[in-house]
Structure 1
Amino acid sequence: MSETSLRDVRWIFILLAAYFVLQIGVRLATSHSLDLDEAEQAFRSQWLAAGYGPQPPFYNWLQYAVFQFAGVSLAALSVVKNLLLFTSYLLYGLTARLVLRDKALVAIATLGLLTIPQMVFEMQRDLTHTVAVFFSASIFFYGFVRSLKQPSLASYLIAGIGIGFGLLAKYNFAILPAAALIAALADARLRPRIFDRRLALTAVVALVIILPHLFWLKDNLHFATARTLEKMTASGHASYSMQVAMGIGSLALSVISFAGLTVAVFAIVFGKKLRAAFAARSEWTGLLERMMLVFVIGILFLIVFGGAAGIKDRWLVPMLFIVPLYLCLKIEAAGAETDEAFRRFMPVVAIIMIGVPAALYGSVAAARFTGHYERLNRPYATMLGNLRQQAEPAAILAGDSLLAGNLRQDIPGVPVLSVDYPGFHPDLTGRRPLLLVWLIPPNGGSEALPPDMAQWLQGNLGASAPGMSVIDVPYFYGRGKDSYRFGYAWINQPG
């Protein structure tokens, strides 16, 4: 890409950089507590492994490396996520610049990602592995399109890096390069790019990147896939025909949930021009249509032959992230005028860039008025600070990974174990006292030591259930005297 072309789109990236810096600031200002995926990263950063469970380890490896240099903190978590998101938008914009001549459409395609709820809201709210999928897909898609349009050793290398990262991010990423390969092979003009000798570099690079995890996966296949398959195939006692109907229905709803708002925004911005554009075609629209078709067929195979009954919209990220670019390619193929549409589109972007951070903050801060509390309202840090006034724990056993990750953030030098994850078992010999902490659900949850914690103590330490206590700590943004209750116990473990 020439320097002039880069200047044409530079303002988009400056705007996005400012937006993601704002998101970091809002996250730090909202709450010190961690949500599910954030807590998972903090908890599992205590050790480095070739695999951790149902999700491949790319994000864990990346976050582990950052924690080694920057320490375990909410800031480190937020910076990593938003840097990945910014880089993804950057690569998406560069890809759009390769295939779109109209600079206004390049901007609309890139900023159009902000109209996808999964991308703009859910990825900021908590997701981590899905962010890694988007990042990897953006790398691969840029390398793939560049290999078709401006083939070079570097373009095939980039595509290989994207595939390697993607397969380490989520296993369902595999459908994206497969769909791209099939879609390109179907076009005689693009076929030579697939049979290019440089494609071997793509394959080798991808294999080298995923090799350590492949060795782990070979011995842990059930552990890695059982939970995902359980979620996907959960159809109760439904008949086969009902399961297929449930699967197809969930796929349709997920597609609408994922792309419906984007299509609606484009319809408002472009009006009748969008309807006319759907009849227009180009080499690039044809390629993307075939990719999306292969993707949908692949999911239908999972539904019909794999028993999938529930398709979630976030699982569609590896493919449907191309929707804004696809719509812009359609509009350009129709030769539509874009200046007026661009002027209508930018206020929508402004509303989203202001509204999403405000909604993320407001959903937590509004608890002082509504009494409805999110996980980020829970006062983990305050609770731990109060317990450390009683004694300084040498190790902590938490009731679940959410609690373990939150505790790990505020006491990074102490091993924090979780009952629900047996894969981390440091030597606790001589570590005393051991602090046990668990969550007591609101509205009358049991205050007793959870059975699985008592079982863990007996099986790992040969210790009986200790005397337990409770501590009530005010919520962050709490209403009146509302508080969250934690159960805890101390064990002076023999050396």
Structure 2
Amino acid sequence: MSASSDTTAQAPSRAPWLWIAALALLVIITRLWMSSAVSWDQNEQLVWSQRLRLGYGPQPPLYTWLQWAVNLVLGPTTLAVVLVKNSLIALTFVFMLLAARQVLPERTAWLAAAGLAWLPGIGWQLLRDQTHTVMLTCAIACTWWLVLRHVRNPRPLGFVWIGLAVAWGILSKYSYALVAVALLVAALSVPAPRHALLSRGFWLAPLVTLALVAPHAWWVLEHWDKASGSTLDKLHPADTPSRLHGLATGSGDLLAFLLLAVLPWLLMAAYTLGRFWKTPRTSAAPAASTSHQRPGTLPWVEPLLRHYAIVVVAVLALMVLAGASKFDGRWIQPLLLMAPLWVLSRWPQAGNNERGARRYLAACLAMLVLMCSIAMLAPLRDAQRGNGDRLNWQLDAIAASLRQAGFNGQGMILAEHHTTGGVLHMLFPQAKVVVCDADDPGFHLGCAWRKAEKARAKGLPLLQVSTETPAPDAWWWAAWPIGSMPERRVYNLPYRWTDPDQARMKLEFIVYPADPSAAVSTSAAVHPALHASAHNHLQ
């Protein structure tokens, strides 16, 4: 009886898993309730995920492959994009909890995982429609779990799992390479992790990684400008006046984002747990120990995490010295995802403070609720201020306008931006959506003509469309033979909740019929009352 009771008491609690699942479901429901539209990166994914390719642009392809697979089941819908993103965020908490349980007592492990809510990188991901950064964050948490588990119990199969995680990270975002290098250097600098990573079967990890990454790596070599140009331009802005100015700007950005990455959590932990750093330091006692490692004998954990952080900061500093003059918080914050685990590994008994632990978890829950509330109320706030917001687009009104103008949802859609293309792919999933970026004149002049001419040659319906900021006239003319461009129509549609007198969404488009004989009379066939009829119908 007593033995059974002890076993039950020592079993890991199910409560954290239930909380993670419940909060993930709440976030998904509130996001779907907030708006049926999507914005920015997720629209780009809707366009790219129409087909499988080895590469798509300046980001690795794994997120797009995952979105493609989900779209096969759910279609190109808001639910599909919201489900992918928020499932990855939930899995980040899951993997962090699994990692913390390898090296911390049960209660403290839960504090380390829940503390992610106070890392700005996580909160920002909840607020914005991000994609690759979300998957990168999840891959980093998973990598740490698998590495910590392997160090505690080295075996050849563990290298296979680590190889899979590294391939996942590289195919999520190229900056993961810094994580892999920093983690490897840190592990080799500490005896126990070094012995584990050099144990029998170590060659399986790089073999698995190379086998999975090689096809995309080949694509990158063949499309180097497309894969690297955007990132390099962001790190080295063309308007940097001098090397000294770039050094000062880069150093300032780096310092600010490094502090922002950890300071909010540190302040919250100090407030809720009290002066936990003044308690005597003890070795971590993981929830489950292997036969050859007794709880409380893991002195390698804190040095491993500390050395990792040092390497990451050192590499970022070297990037500044090499000329990187601009950083973005979403690039840096995932790299320091392990900050709560690092600090708590120094004081693993912090979770024994029951009152402090309750306050800590309440603060984490409050932060998640606050982030979700801000995200949910942002479109309403923008509407009340008269600001056009992509999440306030009325998708039904857009679809109705285009159908009334003669577009039947088939053929090809030529969009001026991924935001437009993603929305129209949701509205007309049977049509092929192509994007010729109107902000890149050197690109769209060739792209628009090739795509439009292909549709005309096949007798397909063609919808050339731009939204919000008008595309330049050259973008429209580029798709048509000289003197034969059909009538371009302009609708001003109301935003949801917004006073139409303050802001309207501009929808410009050309509908080209599938029947070539109707193309000559396209302009004349459009009755002048059509615009007014559609406009009145949508008020």
Fold in common (TM above 0.5): yes
1:188 aligns with 2:191: yes
Q: Write the distance in 2 (CA, Å) between the matches of 1:139 and 1:347.
A: 25
2:77 to 56, 73, 84: 73
1:395 aligns with 2:412: yes
SS in 1 for 2:347: helix
1:484 aligns with 2:505: yes
1:360 aligns with 2:378: no
1:382 aligns with 2:397: yes
SS in 1 for 2:175: helix
TM-score, normalised by the number of residues in structure 2: 0.84
1:28-56: CA deviations, max 9, x gaps?
A: 11111111111011111112110001001
Amino acid of the structure 1 residue aligned with 2:239:
G
Q: Write the distance in 2 (CA, Å) between the matches of 1:395 and 1:4.
A: 61
TM-aligned CA deviation for residue 280 of structure 1 = 9.8
1:131-190: CA deviations, max 9, x gaps?
A: 110121122111111111122233222211110011111111011111111111112233
TM-aligned CA deviation for residue 127 of structure 1 = 0.7
| Pairing 1:235-250 to 2, within 5 Å after superposition | 236-250=239-253
| Pairing 1:407-426 to 2, within 5 Å after superposition | 407-420=424-437, 422=447
Structure 2: give runs of 5+ residues left out of the alignment: 1-6, 285-298, 438-443, 517-539
Question: Do the aligned residues in 2 keep the contact of 1:123 with 1:130 (CA within 8 Å)?
Answer: no
1:453 aligns with 2:476: yes
2:50 to 46, 49, 67: 46
1:216-259: CA deviations, max 9, x gaps?
A: 11111121001100001116243222212211111111112222
Moved more, 367-376 or 482-491: 367-376
Q: Write the distance in 1 (CA, Å) between the matches of 2:17 and 2:178.
A: 29
Amino acid of the structure 1 residue aligned with 2:477:
A
1:441-492: CA deviations, max 9, x gaps?
A: 3xxxx5x75422322x04xx67743321211111122235542111112224
Q: Write the distance in 1 (CA, Å) between the matches of 2:513 and 2:483.
A: 10
Alignment-derived partner of residue 233 in structure 1:
236
Amino acid of the structure 2 residue aligned with 1:402:
T
1:59 aligns with 2:74: no
| Pairing 1:85-484 to 2, within 5 Å after superposition | 85-101=89-105, 103-234=106-237, 236-274=239-277, 282-305=299-322, 307-332=323-348, 337-391=352-406, 392-393=408-409, 394-420=411-437, 422=447, 427-428=454-455, 429-441=457-469, 450-455=473-478, 457-458=479-480, 464-479=484-499, 481=501, 482-484=503-505
Amino acid of the structure 2 residue aligned with 1:65:
A
1:360-402: CA deviations, max 9, x gaps?
A: 1100123343323322112344212221122115321111111
1:1-30: CA deviations, max 9, x gaps?
A: xx9699524211110111011111111111
TM-aligned CA deviation for residue 278 of structure 1 = 9.5
Moved more, 136-145 or 407-416: 136-145
Moved more, 418-427 or 215-224: 418-427
1:264-314: CA deviations, max 9, x gaps?
A: 111211232236689999421111110011111111221212x21111111
SS in 2 for 1:151: coil
Moved more, 222-231 or 274-283: 274-283
Moved more, 222-231 or 8-17: 8-17
Q: Write the distance in 2 (CA, Å) between the matches of 1:137 and 1:280.
A: 24
Q: Write the distance in 1 (CA, Å) between the matches of 2:9 and 2:418.
A: 47
Between the two proteins, the alignment pairs up a number of residues equal to 482
Question: Do the aligned residues in 1 keep the contact of 2:126 with 2:372 (CA within 8 Å)?
Answer: no
Amino acid of the structure 2 residue aligned with 1:97:
R
Q: Write the distance in 1 (CA, Å) between the matches of 2:342 and 2:81.
A: 32
Q: Write the distance in 1 (CA, Å) between the matches of 2:428 and 2:86.
A: 25
SS in 1 for 2:54: coil
Moved more, 481-490 or 92-101: 481-490
In structure 2, the CA distance between the partners of 1:206 and 1:418, relative to structure 1 (3 Å rule), is same
Alignment-derived partner of residue 8 in structure 1:
12
SS in 1 for 2:250: helix
Amino acid of the structure 2 residue aligned with 1:371:
G
Amino acid of the structure 2 residue aligned with 1:302:
M
Amino acid of the structure 1 residue aligned with 2:467:
L
In structure 2, the CA distance between the partners of 1:62 and 1:277, relative to structure 1 (3 Å rule), is farther
Question: Do the aligned residues in 1 keep the contact of 2:47 with 2:425 (CA within 8 Å)?
Answer: yes
In structure 2, the CA distance between the partners of 1:368 and 1:233, relative to structure 1 (3 Å rule), is closer
Q: Write the distance in 1 (CA, Å) between the matches of 2:280 and 2:85.
A: 35
SS in 1 for 2:76: coil
Question: Do the aligned residues in 1 keep the contact of 2:155 with 2:200 (CA within 8 Å)?
Answer: no
In structure 2, the CA distance between the partners of 1:95 and 1:62, relative to structure 1 (3 Å rule), is same
In structure 2, the CA distance between the partners of 1:483 and 1:278, relative to structure 1 (3 Å rule), is farther
Question: Do the aligned residues in 2 keep the contact of 1:266 with 1:274 (CA within 8 Å)?
Answer: no
Question: Do the aligned residues in 2 keep the contact of 1:45 with 1:60 (CA within 8 Å)?
Answer: yes
Percent sequence identity is 25
Amino acid of the structure 1 residue aligned with 2:331:
W
Q: Write the distance in 2 (CA, Å) between the matches of 1:450 and 1:331.
A: 63
Moved more, 112-121 or 367-376: 367-376
Amino acid of the structure 1 residue aligned with 2:499:
R
SS in 2 for 1:189: helix
Q: Write the distance in 2 (CA, Å) between the matches of 1:259 and 1:381.
A: 43
Question: Do the aligned residues in 2 keep the contact of 1:472 with 1:485 (CA within 8 Å)?
Answer: yes
In structure 2, the CA distance between the partners of 1:449 and 1:237, relative to structure 1 (3 Å rule), is closer
TM-score, normalised by the number of residues in structure 1: 0.91
Q: Write the distance in 2 (CA, Å) between the matches of 1:277 and 1:210.
A: 45
SS in 2 for 1:93: helix
Q: Write the distance in 1 (CA, Å) between the matches of 2:94 and 2:418.
A: 33
In structure 2, the CA distance between the partners of 1:4 and 1:264, relative to structure 1 (3 Å rule), is same
1:87-134: CA deviations, max 9, x gaps?
A: 221111011000002x22111111101111221332452110001101
1:36 aligns with 2:40: yes
Moved more, 422-431 or 372-381: 422-431
Q: Write the distance in 1 (CA, Å) between the matches of 2:212 and 2:506.
A: 45
Q: Write the distance in 2 (CA, Å) between the matches of 1:231 and 1:485.
A: 30
Structure 1: give runs of 5+ residues left out of the alignment: none
Question: Do the aligned residues in 1 keep the contact of 2:416 with 2:436 (CA within 8 Å)?
Answer: yes
Question: Do the aligned residues in 2 keep the contact of 1:176 with 1:318 (CA within 8 Å)?
Answer: no
Amino acid of the structure 2 residue aligned with 1:52:
Y
